[in-house]
Chain A
């Protein structure tokens, strides 16, 4: 547990840098988390992050990578719903990095 100050607001994160409280998330927090992950956020990155937040709202879990790719393919098309595209955006693991930036917990089953 640690507290970081993001844009004048104290935010709780766990030892791996994931938000403790989903409700603390906003775009400033996302930008900070992205910087920590050394990810430069583009429109394509935001699309994935927003997709993950919608997924979480609906199902209350962060999806495994295989499930994420499939769900993105279904909604945004196969050009985006594939490992290559997602790993280009989030080189250290789309499920892991994008979930962190989206303020979600670490995906279940992710080690």
Chain B
């Protein structure tokens, strides 16, 4: 019995296991709900003390691009929230190099500090995860 689990017995094997979770973002921030849903799941996952990373690939790189103005489409601009991730101890943000370049973007166009990876390095990062959740 343990106070931490609210008095519920847990197997030693399930207690305190930290898994590597990657949230893979491939879609533009508006037009579909994927980007916002992904961000919400990421924020919630932070409460469970897991090893969380985010990857931005394809149009997903637009999620963290600076200067988003959403008034014209009558939607909330949630891009400032990516800057709060640091406070949630989520500091592993990976961006696909080819996706950035194909859209004429560079690291300076992004709202947050990221690691830019080529596709081989990105594949390695994905391979080392326990769970990859794609949005």
Contact = CB atoms under 8 A, between A and B. Distances in A.
Contacts of A67: 46, 84, 87-88
B87 A61 contact: no
Given A64-B88, A71-B87, A108-B40, A59 B46 contact: no
B80 interface: yes
A109 B80 contact: no
Contact of B47 (A64, A70, A71): A64
Contacts of B47: 64, 66, 109
Contacts of A59: 80-81, 83-84
B47 to A, nearest CB: 5
A70 B46 CA distance: 14
Interface of A: 58-61, 63-64, 66-67, 70-71, 108-109
30 contacts: A58-B80, A58-B84, A59-B80, A59-B81, A59-B83, A59-B84, A60-B76, A60-B77, A60-B78, A60-B81, A61-B43, A61-B81, A61-B84, A63-B84, A63-B87, A64-B43, A64-B46, A64-B47, A64-B88, A67-B46, A67-B84, A67-B87, A67-B88, A70-B87, A71-B87, A108-B43, A108-B44, A109-B43, A109-B46, A109-B47
6 tightest A-B CB contacts, nearest first:
A59-B84, A109-B44, A108-B43, A60-B80, A67-B87, A109-B47
